[in-house]
Amino acid sequence: MHRNTPILSETADGSVTSYKMECWQPTGSFKIRGIGNLCRKAHARGATGLVSSSGGNAGMAAAYAARELGMDARIVVPKTTAEFVRHRLVALGAQVEAHGDVWDQADERARRYCEDDGAAYVPPFDHPDIWAGHATLVAECAEAMEPPDEVILSVGGGGLLCGVLQGMHDAGWDTIPLVAVETAGAASLAAAMAADEVVDICEIASIAKTLGARRVAEEALAWTHRHPVISELVGDREAVEACLEFANRQRVLVEPACGAALAVASRRRQASRNALVVVCGGSGVNLDQLNRWRAQFGLDWNQGL
pLDDT tens-digit readout, 139-172: 999 999 999 999 999 998 899 999 999 999 999 9
If DSSP codes are grouped into helix, strand and coil, which group holds residue 167?
Answer: helix
- What is the pLDDT, as a whole number, of residue 185? 78
**Between 213 and 190, the higher pLDDT residue:** 190
Integer Cα distance of 278 and 201 in angstroms? 25
pLDDT at 78: 86
Structure confidence by residue, pLDDT tens digits, 72-82: 999 998 888 88
pLDDT of residue 97: 92
Query: Looking at residue 208, what is its pLDDT?
Result: 64
Write down the pLDDT at residue 241.
95
pLDDT given at position 198: 87
Share of the chain above pLDDT 90, in %: 68
**Residue 27: predicted pLDDT:** 94
- Predicted confidence band at 200 (pLDDT cuts at 50, 70, 90)? confident
Query: Looking at the DSSP assignment, which residues form a beta bridge with residue 178?
Result: 151, 229
Tell me: the pLDDT tens digits for 232-284? Answer: 999 999 999 999 999 999 999 999 999 999 999 998 887 778 999 999 998 88
pLDDT at residue 210 is higher than 60? no
More confident residue, 289 or 212: 289
Contact (CB, 8 A) for 99 and 105: yes
CA dihedral sign of residues 188, 192, 198, 199: negative
- The SS3 call for residue 196 is coil
Residue-wise pLDDT for 97-127, tens only, equals 999 877 778 888 888 888 766 689 999 888 9
220 or 53: which leads in pLDDT: 220
Q: Which of 189, 191, 192, 195 is nearest to 157 (CA)?
A: 189
State yes or no: pLDDT of 24 exceeds 80.
Answer: yes
Could you give the percent of the chain with pLDDT greater than 70? 95
| Position 211 pLDDT exceeds 60 | no
Predicted confidence at residue 280, as pLDDT, reads 94
